[in-house]
Amino acid sequence: MKAIVLRILLQRPGLDRTAGLFRLRLRAGGSQIVLAAFVLVAILAPLISPQNPYDPLQVLGWDASSPPGTVGSGGYAYILGTDGLGRDILSTIFYGLRISLVVSIVSSLAAAMIGLAAGVTAAYFGRWIDAVIMRLVDLQLSLPTILVALIAIVTLGPGVDRIILALIIVQWAVYARMVRGVALSETRKSYMDAAQLLRMPTLRILLRHLLPNSIAPALTLLPIEIGHAIALEATLSFLGLGVPLDKPSLGSAVANGFQYLMTGQYWISLFPGLALLCLVASINFVGDDLRRRLDPRSAAR
Amino acid sequence: MIQEPVVPSLLQMEGFSLEHRSVFGPVSILTDVNFSLGYGEVLGVIGESGAGKSTIGNAILGLLAPQFVRVSGTIRLEGAPIDDRTLERDIRGHRIAAIFQDHTASLDPLMPVGKQIRETVLALDPALTVSEAKEVSLQLMTRVGISDAARRYADYPHQFSGGQRQRLVIAIALAGSPDVIIADEPTSALDATVQKQILALLRSLVDESGLSVILVTHDMGVVAEITDRVLVMRKGEVVEQGRTAAILDRPQHVYTQSLLAAVPRLRQTMAARKVRSTSPQWSDGRSETPILSVRNLSRSFATTGPKYWPWGETAVTEKPFALRDVSFDLLRGSVTGIVGESGSGKTTIGRIMAGLEFASQGCVAIDGREFDVTRPGRRSGILGLVQMIFQDPSLSLNPHMTIERILRESIRYGAGDVERPSDCAAMMERLGLPRSLLSRHPHQLSGGQKQRVSIARALLARPRIVVADEPTSALDVSVQAEIVALLKEAIAETDMTMVFISHDLALVQDLCDQIHIFKAGRIEDAGSPHYIFSQSTHPYTRELIAARSSWFTR
Amino acid sequence: MYWATIASGRLAQAALLLLAMSLIAFIGIHSIGNPVFNVVNIETATAEDIRQATTALGLDQPVWKQYFLFLSNIVRGEFGTSYIYHQPAVDLVLGKLPATLELAVFAMLVAAPVGVGLGLLAGRNEGSAFDRVVLRFCVLVASVPSFWLSMMLILGLAVLAGWLPSGGRGDSMLAFGQEWSVLTGDGLRHIILPALALALPNIALICRLARAGTIEVQGQEFTRFCRAKGLSARRILMRHTLPNISIPIVTIIALQFGGMLAFAVVVETIFAWPGVGKLLIDSIQLLDRPVVMATLTFVAVAFVTLNALVDLLYAILDPRVRLS
């Protein structure tokens, strides 16, 4: 009896519809909350951190390598322990988040814009312009990102701005390739022909017709590439080519702990690494969900 | 509804209702569908897009996505209800086989066709040895009319023509000697002449082996050609069913009547006619300078292979159309039909005239001014003098712009010297579009509405010449008729010169003053409709006319 | 004709890749600092020593002249002698090759079958619990930077559990004139952790690709037709779906394998695995230009060879490529 009532209830289109939409929203809810928390923590880092790990006066050397939970000489507990220099791991994570997020978001946005422009240009003009742009893209994509980043960093020198530049160099080609593919199929659609027949200025055709219709894949790629950028920046920092040591990102915080790993002081690299993992994973999950919703083909499934 | 004499039925669908369930709630797809299929019978299922006609076939075969839920009803094969378990083991392929519309996509591109037939034979009769199965496969290939089957056994699908591929699909369907074949739009992707051959093959199989066929189609011509009985579907409901001849002669339901009325009919004999107030100049014997002349236009086959550098991405191989030494004139204010099957170069010639593509040789003159069409349109200067109406309205409007912005753009950039009312709203009204659509985006419009907007855009640019490239072939039959009527009106009101490109002779018959028949890049036959339909003895013209179902030839 | 085009194309690609990489690396190394300070002992060297060393290494020439000298040497097959180890650069690279090769092959032998298998199964049961778990796993693994994954493997399996050694190559055995670790039990124990660290991200990558391909191919008309003609689901999956998704998978396997050969930098560093990647990063930091150039040349050649192999596989897998 109950089952029948329930079934009838569920069959009512209005209710089912709301329930469905609710489910849709909830699916990525977990990762979205985690991601929002990370961003919030990054913004509020100076207010909520127990200490400022970049300030040598606040870092107490004799508290170095304290395990998690130790109450330090500063009077507050090192919830996640301290690293080899006595920096509070929790504070390092909070401050490291800021650098990781800024570097990755700025570089990904810039790379997306460059890639968008390059991809649309290549697709529209074709011929030698396309050939030159796409050969560059091919060349870059045929090399692993880590090498391109390495060479770029080695050539450009150290510094946060250089890292951002290196990450842009690494990422733009991915966007360019993807956008070009979509733009190419758009140029074959007849609304582009119609625009040609009206003899509009080329710039107008590019900006008003081709660009808006080719932008979707770049947008869906963005979160995923931000995730990549965070991981790549961390890797570069790990190899000693990233951000300066006195201003650790999540990656260099992990790297700092490598030498202590063998002696069992696991917390120095475990906790920043976990934070890194959660950050990138939540971005990837949110990005995946976004892509599923924006791609009408998979939405139909 | 006409009562049928009771025939022993092979396949029955009783009170069948189906819903599509998604997060957006259930949508009814089929409502209370009843029909039965007799032995050795061809049953046509006809309807426009969204009528649920293909769903019937998929439901019988159990090939529906899980979101489709049967609400009520049963499907019986010789009285026994079909369920999922028997389907997989005993029915699919053995008793009921299928032919799908897209012959290219129906075959695995990476497996030789012979092997695809052989694996079916083996799956359906595991007792056979591989060499026996190959023998059976070769017989099947021969039976469906693949000549030289032994030599072509190891060829891949892409090495066959469209018609041959559909024959191979039929061979696979025949592999298990089924009782029923469900043919879902089996000829819609094929040219009229090839379509005729495939239908003849199906009919001969039915006549020879007592097979029954459920033929799903949107084309009344196909229904008239081979079906014994027909089921008319609309929005998931059967509105009418009965003997084909009876339905075609005396359709009872209003919807069936409107479907039939919308089919363009070919008249074998044509009286001299006068369709326009300003009759074309050649009819009063004076030769006047043409508004556009095409002179010795050729386009060589596009070469396949790497585009720029040897290791580049595999270049998109252009379809191998070519034009060979084509010349003709368009007279001021006339309507010229260009008719041909796929690959005849009819679309290419239209696009070259508009400046969207370039030729390898030849020139186009508009009002006596010659344009070097071997160069891209923007450079030769021809671009913008001719406007086009495109085939697929869902691709011809920028999805990111509102209708108003699309039309305003056309007014702003259109280059014409003839005074025309260039107000969006007035044009909308003229084309029977409600003014409220101006603020909408293309995806909110129906196919017919989109095509009207597309026409409005072309007209608002105030061109003197318009090329309409198959403007109705992506639309449902009932909408097709409206669009053709609209175009007729638009031409009659003005002195616009128009080129109407079509694969359908019946469509151009009433519309055009002059018809050019293209085949493989050449003009095979040309003349007034009266000449083409009543007098021409050209074999290709006669073949094209004969390919139309005789039912719709009056 | 097809093969001639491909071959000439690949050769041109090799040349271009090499040219671009050498140019970038040359300028890069030139801009960081003077290698001469890594060659002489800075504390004891006099100005005269430094001048002599500079001349001896040819570093007194303008950079473009050095570059052309380098190019002409390459044409003659000469990469020069390492500034640091005083050995021919080519020998250094070749000496590191077996370690890298065995690691990469071992990792890919694990990653490819597992990835393809998981992807096929997940794609076939799209939306099922299994599919969701696999998908979550893929996203999670793809989110882990490989250095942290390596460190956690060491922490878990080497430091805490103590089952496996944390680094180095272990015992090796001589075969084909080179030392191989996989031939000894101790070597095998040493290779498991770094191979796992390399394989896991690749399993995720290959699995996602296979899953997406399976879903796409299963949605295509010919799959529906195969079902309609009475084939079993298993046969459709193995005989029709698998070949049709193989091209992108082969491409990514080749690309990733190339990446492992040349740039398993992170994993090789963490596990102290003396391979080509570690040689490259050490040489970059020591500004040992001849070794960097020799390594990069090897990388370019490896990539082009792999690409050519992929072309060959395409032609085998897809008749449309072969017969057009």
Whether A273 sits inside 8 A of C148 (CB atoms) is yes
Q: Cα B237 to the chain's mean position, in Å? A: 24
Q: Are residues B168 and B75 in the same domain?
A: no
* pLDDT at residue A116, as a whole number: 92
Residue B11 within a domain: yes
Same domain, B38 and B166: no
Q: What is the DSSP string of B3-69?
A: PPPP--EEEEEEEEEEEEEETTEEEEEEEEEEEEEETT-EEEEE--TTSSHHHHHHHHHT---TTEE
Compute the Cα dihedral for C233, C235, C240, C242 and give only its sign.
positive
Distance CA C252, CA C246 (A): 10
Kindly state the tokens that stand for A188: 């074959």
CA distance C28 to B64: 60
pLDDT of A6 above 70: no
Q: Which residues on adjacent β-strands are paired with residue B37? A: B11
**Any domain includes B125:** yes
pLDDT digits (tens, 9 = 90+) for C251-266: 888 888 888 887 688 8
CB contact under 8 A, B391 and A191: no
Do C74 and C15 contact (CB within 8 A), yes or no?
no
Nearest to A231 by CA among A135, A66, A101, A119: A101
pLDDT tens-place values along chain B, 554 residues long: 455 555 568 888 888 898 888 777 788 888 888 888 888 899 999 888 778 888 888 888 888 888 888 888 888 888 888 877 777 778 888 888 888 877 778 888 889 999 999 999 988 888 888 899 999 999 999 988 888 888 889 888 888 888 888 889 999 998 888 899 999 888 887 888 888 888 888 888 888 888 899 999 888 888 888 889 999 998 888 888 889 888 888 888 888 888 888 887 776 655 444 444 344 444 444 346 788 888 888 887 544 333 333 333 333 344 455 788 888 888 888 889 999 887 788 888 888 888 888 888 888 988 888 888 888 778 888 888 899 999 888 889 988 888 888 888 888 887 554 445 457 778 888 888 888 888 888 888 888 889 989 998 888 888 889 999 988 888 887 788 888 888 888 877 777 889 999 888 888 887 888 899 988 888 888 888 888 888 888 888 888 888 776 666 65
Q: Is residue A203 less than 8 Å (CB to CB) from chain B?
A: no
CB contact under 8 A, C320 and B175: no
Q: Which of A62-76, A186-200, C106-120 has the lowest mean pLDDT?
A: A62-76
- How many contacts (CB atoms, under 8 Å) link B and C? 98
Mean pLDDT confidence for A183-191: 86
Chain mean position to CA B403: 27
A-chain residues within 8 Å CB-CB of C147?
234-235, 238, 251, 254-255
pLDDT tens sequence across A116-147 = 999 999 988 877 888 888 878 877 777 777 77
Q: How much of chain B is in helix, strand and coil states, percent to nearest 5?
A: 40, 25, 40
- Please judge whether B310 and C12 are an interchain contact, meaning their C-beta atoms are less than 8 angstroms apart: yes
CATH number (domain holding residue B518) = 3.40.50.300
Same domain, B542 and B530: yes
pLDDT band at C43 (very low <50, low <70, confident <90, very high): low
C228, C231, C317: residue with CB nearest B98 = C228
Model confidence band, residue A14 (pLDDT cutoffs 50, 70, 90): very low
Q: Do residues B271 and B368 both lie within one domain?
A: yes
pLDDT in tens, C90-106: 888 888 888 888 899 99
Q: Do C235 and B100 touch (CB under 8 A)?
A: no
Q: Which residues of A touch B397 (CB under 8 A)?
A: 191
In this structure, is residue B436 part of a structural domain?
A: no
Residues of A in contact with B356 (CB under 8 A): 193, 196-197
| Same domain membership, residue B215 and residue B83 | yes
* DSSP conformation class of A208: I
**Least confident among A52-56, A221-225, B425-429, C145-149:** A52-56
Task: Say if the Cβ atoms of A197 and B400 lie within 8 Å.
Answer: no
Give pairs for B519-523: CB < 8 Å, separation 24+: B519/B340, B519/B341, B519/B344, B520/B322, B520/B324, B520/B343, B520/B344, B520/B345, B521/B299, B521/B321, B521/B322, B521/B323, B521/B324, B521/B326, B521/B344, B521/B345, B522/B323, B522/B324, B522/B325, B522/B326, B522/B345, B523/B326, B523/B327, B523/B328
Percentage of chain C exceeding pLDDT 90:
8
- Asked if residue A12 has pLDDT above 50, the reply is no
Q: Where are the domains of chain A?
A: 46-56+87-300
At B365 the three-state DSSP class reads strand
Q: Give the domain range for residue B124.
A: 102-177
Contacts of B100 in chain C (CB under 8 A): 221, 224-225, 228
CB contact under 8 A, C143 and A284: yes
My answer on whether B345 and B480 are in the same domain is yes
Shared domain check, B229 and B109: no
pLDDT grade for A108, boundaries at 50, 70 and 90: very high
- Same domain as B249, residue B114: no
Return the pLDDT at A113.
93
CA separation (Å) from B437 to B424, B443, B447? 11, 11, 13
Q: Is residue C15 pLDDT above 60, yes or no?
A: yes
Does C251 contact chain B (CB < 8 Å)?
A: no
Distance from the Cα of C175 to chain A's closest Cα (Å) equals 31
Same domain, B279 and B251: no
- Give chain C positions within 8 Å (CB) of A261: 151, 154-155, 159
Indicate the Cα dihedral angle A174, A177, A178, A179, nearest 10°: 110
Contact B472, B484 (CB under 8 A): yes
Does B309 reside within a domain? no
Task: Tell me which of A191, A205, A219, A301 to substitute to probe the interface with B (most B C-beta atoms closer than 10 Å).
Answer: A191
Q: Could you tell me which residue, A222 or B551, shows the higher pLDDT?
A: A222
Determine the residue among B63, B106, B118, B137 to mutate to test chain C binding: the one whose Cβ has the most chain C Cβ atoms within 10 Å: B106
Which of A99-108, A176-185, C308-317 shows the lowest per-residue confidence on average (mean pLDDT)? C308-317
CATH entry 1.10.3720.10 includes domain A46-56+87-300: yes
Confidence of residue C119 (pLDDT cuts 50, 70, 90): very high
What pLDDT sits at residue C165?
A: 80
Question: Does residue A281 surpass a pLDDT of 80?
Answer: yes
Residues B176 and B90: their CA atoms lie apart, in Å, by 11
Same domain, B474 and B534: yes
pLDDT tens readout for residues A198-218 = 888 889 999 989 998 888 778
Q: In what order do the strands lie in the sheet with B25-38?
A: B25-38, B9-22, B68-77, B80-81
pLDDT > 80? residue A97 = yes
Per the structure, how many domains does chain B have?
A: 3
- Residue B76 φ then ψ, to 5°: -120, 140
Model pLDDT, residue C2: 60
Count A/B contacts: CB-CB distance under 8 Å.
92
Chain C residues with CB inside 8 Å of B310's CB?
A: 5-6, 8-9, 12
> What is the per-residue pLDDT for A117?
93
Which chain C residues are closer than 8 Å to A271 by Cβ?
none
Nearest neighbour of C244 by CB, restricted to B63, B93, B110: B110
In a domain, B289, yes or no: yes
In the block, residue with structure tokens 């489709």: B68
Per-residue pLDDT band for A296 (boundaries 50, 70, 90) equals very low
Residues 131-190 of B with CB under 8 A from C: 156, 158-159, 169, 172-173, 175-176
Binary contact (B410, A13; C-beta < 8 A): no
Mean pLDDT of C7-33: 72
Own/partner pairs for A144-148, CB < 8 Å, 24+ apart?
A144/C258, A144/C259, A144/C262, A144/C263, A145/A170, A145/A228, A145/A232, A146/A232, A146/A235, A146/C263, A146/C265, A146/C266, A147/C262, A147/C263, A147/C299
For the entire predicted model, the pTM comes to: 0.77
Which residues on chain B are in Cβ contact (under 8 Å) with A219? Answer: none
Residue B250 sits in the same domain as residue B296: no
Tell me which chain A residues have a C-beta less than 8 angstroms from the C-beta of B400.
212-213
Average pLDDT, chain A: 77
Which of C22, C23, C137, C147 best tests the A interface by mutation, with the highest count of A CBs <10 A?
C147
- B191 Cβ contact list (under 8 Å, min separation 6): B162, B163, B341, B342, B503
CA–CA separation, C284 and C40 (whole Å): 17
